[in-house]
Amino acid sequence: MIDGPFAETRELVAGYWIWEVKDMDEAVAWAKRCPNPMPGPSELEIRPFYEMEDFGDILTPEIIETNERLRSKIEGE
């Protein structure tokens, strides 16, 4: 038996937001507006989402084809 993925309540993920911003500076500006969910100090993590186009030249035709095939399969379900 285990406690779950968060052994202590201080490690609990309380929620998340998804913002579409032009750069990290804009993301930080939005984060500064966020309410503090805890009575004391807390942390906000900023993590980017990546699109296939963000990987540029390292995308091979095989990877692109595999991605398109998987997307088609998911959309068909």
**Structural domains counted in the chain:** 1
CA distances to 23, 38, 74 from 63, in Å: 27, 43, 16
Q: How confident is the model at residue 1 (pLDDT cuts 50, 70, 90)?
A: very low
Q: Which domain holds residue 71?
A: 9-76
* Contacts of 14 by beta carbon, 8 Å cutoff, 6+ apart: 37, 38
Per-residue pLDDT at 10: 59
In a domain, 1, yes or no: no
In a domain, 4, yes or no: no
CA distances to 2, 43, 44, 70 from 12, in Å: 15, 11, 12, 32
- The answer on pLDDT for 32 being more than 80 is yes
Q: What is the pTM of this model?
A: 0.54
* Interatomic CA distance for residues 9 and 65, integer angstroms: 43
In a domain, 3, yes or no: no
Instruction: For tokens 């296939």, name the residue.
Output: 52
In a domain, 2, yes or no: no
